[in-house]
Chain A
Amino acid sequence: MSVETSVRVEDKLFYNRYLVDVGHPHIKVRAHTKPTAQLLALLKVCPARCYELNDKGQVEVTVDGCIECGTCRVIGEPSGDIEWSYPRGGYGVLFKFG
């Protein structure tokens, strides 16, 4: 799987244009001690790699690079693991091509 690890998602996100709504993240992870299977799945399935494990083994989200696909909502919202809204009007990713 050496090919996989060579993909740098942050480099990809660098191509994109964003207007970050500082202090108003549109996705929140429910506080937990041990992550559920759904939360762990988000570490890999999120195309912008917004989800990461912290050093306590909990899943955290940083929405700055989010491309608003909604995949994490489909996986994580039913179990209550995450809360998902659209960013406020005008904020978030701004596709030039789309």
Chain B
Amino acid sequence: MIEEKFDAIVVGAGMSGNAAALAMAKRGMKVLQLERGEYAGSKNVQGAILYADMLEKLIPDFRDDAPLERHLVEQRFWMMDDRSHVGVHYRSEDFNEERPNRYTIIRAQFDKWFSSKVREAGATVLCETTVTELARDAHGKVIGVRTDRRDGEIHADVVVLAEGVNGLLGTRARLRERPKPDRVALAVKEMHFVPRETIEARFNLKGDEGVVVEAAGTISRGMTGMGFIYANRECISLGIGCIVADFQRTGETPYGLLDGFKRHPSVAPLIEGSEVKEYSAHLIPEGGYKAIPQLYGDGWLVVGDAAQLNNAVHREGSNLAMTSGRIAAEAIVQVRSRRQPMTAENLSLYKKMLDESFVIKDLKKHKDMPRLMHTNSQNFFLTYPQLLSRAMQNYVRVDGTPKAEKEKLTLKSFVNARSWTGLFGDAFRLARAWR
């Protein structure tokens, strides 16, 4: 049993937990961080893209020694049907800058590095320790944790729950509900290894340049979901995810979906001849603003995926995690500097600060999007991609049909599939949810 008492305990060593632990330790707080994995990162799964701006706020010179894969110079969006894709690609030389904006990373390696910074800042990091329960006093205030490694409780003034999307502690303590099947996606991913030069040739890259492909369409078989392909230095992260309730409803298998994505004629050549070295799966919070639970209480705060802070529209999560962890730490530091207790009232500062940040502002902006995408998944992920593909083929295939007739045919295919009311309704709903 650890007899001493800590200023703060952080549960979990992912993006949000490391950010919180680092920010508090840097301010001289006595921090204990608990992680159930063998090392920080060994249980963490992400695509993964790192957003420099949010990390710079914690570690300004991270580029000196962080294990980064490639800086992104190109973003590709693919709308796929079974044999084709319609793409929007954005590539710019501007992204070849001194301090690049986004990088691909490999989470297990990155998190290990991030954790080393947390230790350097003076926090105590205990791995291979699963927190089993929150310890509370007679008034229900959280005063520490119980773990599976030691008898008894470890006490702290405040507990930061950075336990991930599937966080059990908060649910068991009834601080928040368990994620619902229609508000989380299950994503599966493989790591495909190919020689560095092969990646550069296949993706049109040089040096440390990187590219991201995000794909939607018939690959998700009518479910709400997306595929992704990220170019790392010597491997390609390839995966696909769909809303859990959709898997439940359709009886599709995640590995069947992944297999279909890999066999797609637009994807297969990119990973041809690769050696797969890992297969992973993870839940992604997709409920958006409306799924955000109570964020603080007497003696506790929740950050990152555990708080469902994920921007499903922009596919951003790690930056929201890192930022919420940092802001939680700043709020705690402020309460502490005023020598005030860690009550719900005082810790409400965290929510106030988070509300003013991009984290909540972005989620609020897209608050209706998750529902729209989910209730119209057949249209957005099956019908439209197919229509678009046919329209493009009709447009580019030269076969002697007069152009006016071709255009009329394309329009007719859209109206037949969705009707005028449907088309305008979809456009209107999409615009309103985006606004």
Please report A residues at the B interface, Cβ cutoff 8 Å.
1, 3-4, 6-7, 9, 12-13, 15-16, 19, 41, 44-45, 47-49, 67-71, 73-75, 77-78, 84-90, 92-98
Contacts and interface: CB of A to CB of B under 8 A. Distances in A.
Nearest to B41: A98
Interface string B270-290: 000000111111110000000
Contacts of B148: 88-89
Interface string B152-196: 000000000000011010000000001111001010101100000
A69 B282 contact: yes
A44 B251 CA distance: 6
A94 B36 CA distance: 11
Contacts of B191: 97
Nearest to B149: A89
B260 A90 contact: no
Interface of B: 36-38, 41-46, 48, 106-109, 111, 127-130, 147-149, 165-166, 168, 178-181, 184, 186, 188, 190-191, 235, 244, 247-248, 251-256, 258-260, 263, 276-283
B22 to A, nearest CB: 19
A5 to B, nearest CB: 9
A71 B106 contact: no
Given A4-B256, A15-B278, A89 B130 contact: yes
Given A89-B128, A95-B45, A98-B108, A45 B166 contact: no
Contact of B43 (A4, A6, A15, A68): A68
Contact of B37 (A6, A73, A94, A97): A94
Contacts of A90: 36-38, 127-128
Chain A to chain B: the 4 pairs with minimum beta-carbon distance, closest first: A90-B128, A70-B166, A12-B279, A98-B108
A7 B253 CA distance: 10
Contacts of B46: 98
Given A12-B276, A41-B248, A97 B180 contact: no
